[in-house]
């Protein structure tokens, strides 16, 4: 079984053409700007929307595991008690609760992806796996293999922070790597994101040596993290002869998810970064904003 966060149809920024993006659960990184913090854990997670909640206590009463409490009208969720049964979600009359994550077979996922095959054929699109870190789950290879056998173009939005064995096994079934290049300062990358820089650099060096034409380096431009190091990051990607380099301007669009998970978003005061802010870096190989 494959742990899935959600499946997004008609995606246009996750590879060429019109695509279906399958967001998989699990990530070894914990980037403080992450737009998908609900994917960090392989287990389902409960998201609570305070704007919809009326503190009626129906969810607390429905929970048999004492995972939900209210204090001064404020919702609290103890994830260690949660059994992900969904009883609280069913009891909520205002749709203030969502249980994110479900186990699916490769066949079930591919059935959803196949619904838009006509659009893929007309636009040269296909299926993209994302996350989280989509190559983390060993079972992801079953989905990618099935997609290739079905004649679909496949892409992965990856951090590269997986074992070299897993990375190379999945590479056989991937047409395009959208490879995150967050920082080349190992200590800063490890301290801020929790990543293993050695794994990332080994996988990036391997795939760019084997198939540089199938790699797009994606640099999320984050204030106070890597914005001052863009020239060095671009030079690093160019030295590996990647197909393209995409600079992705910072956006705070994931803040609502952090709020719904009961977590503080470290970049809540940081405004959306305009593409024009990075225009000086634009050239034939370097694009602002990606696809």
Do 150 and 283 lie in a common domain? yes
Dihedral angle at the C-alpha atoms of 22, 26, 32, 37, nearest 10 degrees? Answer: 60
Mean local confidence (pLDDT), 61-87: 95
Q: Has residue 291 got a pLDDT over 90? A: no
**87 plus 124 within the same structural domain:** no
Q: Is the pLDDT of residue 53 over 90?
A: yes
- 48 pLDDT above the threshold of 90: yes
* Same domain, residue pair 93 and 139: no
Residue 93's CATH number: 3.30.70.20
Q: What is the pLDDT of residue 193?
A: 98
User: 127 with 253, same domain?
Assistant: yes
Domain C-terminal end among 100, 120, 138: 100
Q: Is the pLDDT of residue 24 over 70?
A: yes
Separation in Å, CA 215 to CA 48, 204, 206: 37, 9, 11
Mean pLDDT across the stretch 5-22? 96
pLDDT band (50, 70, 90) for residue 284 = confident
Query: Helices marked H in the chain — which ranges?
Result: 58-62, 87-91, 106-114, 117-123, 140-149, 164-171, 186-193, 197-210, 230-239, 255-260
Q: How far apart are CA 4 and CA 8, in angstroms?
A: 11
Can you read off the two tokens belonging to residue 98? 């969502």
| Backbone torsions φ then ψ of 240, nearest 5 degrees | -100, 5
Note whether 62 and 107 are same-domain residues: no
pLDDT of residue 116: 97
Least confident window among 145-149, 154-158, 166-170, 285-289: 285-289
| Percentage of the chain modeled with pLDDT above 70 | 99
Q: Kind and range of the H or E element at 155?
A: strand 153-158
194: CATH: 3.20.20.70
Residue-number span of the structural domain to which 206 is assigned: 2-41+102-288
- Number of independent structural domains in the chain: 2
- So what's the pLDDT on residue 290? 64
What is the pLDDT, as a whole number, of residue 9?
Answer: 97
Q: What average pLDDT does the segment 213-217 reach?
A: 98
Same domain, 235 and 274: yes
**Mean pLDDT, rounded, for 220-234:** 96
**What pLDDT is recorded for position 289?**
86
Instruction: Judge if 120 and 95 occupy the same domain.
Output: no
pTM for the whole thing? Answer: 0.95
Same domain, 106 and 168: yes
């Amino acid at each position: 079984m494959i742990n899935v966060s959600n499946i997004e149809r008609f995606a246009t920024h996750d590879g060429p053409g019109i695509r279906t993006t399958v967001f998989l659960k699990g990530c070894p990184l914990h980037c403080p700007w992450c737009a998908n913090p609900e994917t960090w854990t392989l287990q389902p997670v409960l998201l609570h929307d305070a704007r919809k909640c009326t503190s009626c206590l129906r969810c607390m009463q429905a929970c048999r595991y004492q995972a939900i409490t209210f204090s001064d009208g404020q919702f609290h969720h103890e994830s260690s008690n949660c059994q992900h049964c969904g009883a609280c979600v069913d009891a909520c009359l205002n749709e203030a609760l969502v249980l994110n994550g479900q186990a699916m077979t490769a066949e079930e996922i591919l059935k959803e992806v196949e619904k838009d095959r006509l659009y893929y054929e007309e636009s040269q699109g296909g299926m993209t796996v994302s996350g989280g870190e989509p190559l983390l789950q060993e079972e992801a290879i079953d989905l990618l293999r099935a997609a290739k056998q079905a004649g679909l173009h496949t892409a992965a939005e990856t951090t590269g922070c997986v074992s070299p064995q897993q990375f190379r096994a999945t590479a056989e079934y991937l047409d395009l790597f959208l490879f995150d290049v967050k920082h080349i300062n190992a200590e800063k990358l490890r301290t801020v994101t929790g990543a293993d820089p050695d794994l990332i650099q080994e996988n990036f060096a391997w795939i760019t040596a084997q198939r540089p034409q199938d790699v797009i380096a994606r640099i999320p431009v984050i204030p106070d993290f890597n914005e001052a190091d863009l020239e060095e990051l671009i030079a690093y990607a160019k030295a590996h002869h990647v197909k393209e380099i995409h600079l992705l301007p910072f956006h705070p669009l994931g803040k609502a998810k952090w709020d719904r998970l009961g977590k503080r978003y470290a970049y809540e005061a940081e405004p959306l970064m305009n593409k024009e802010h990075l225009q000086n870096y634009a050239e034939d190989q370097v694009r602002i904003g990606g696809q």
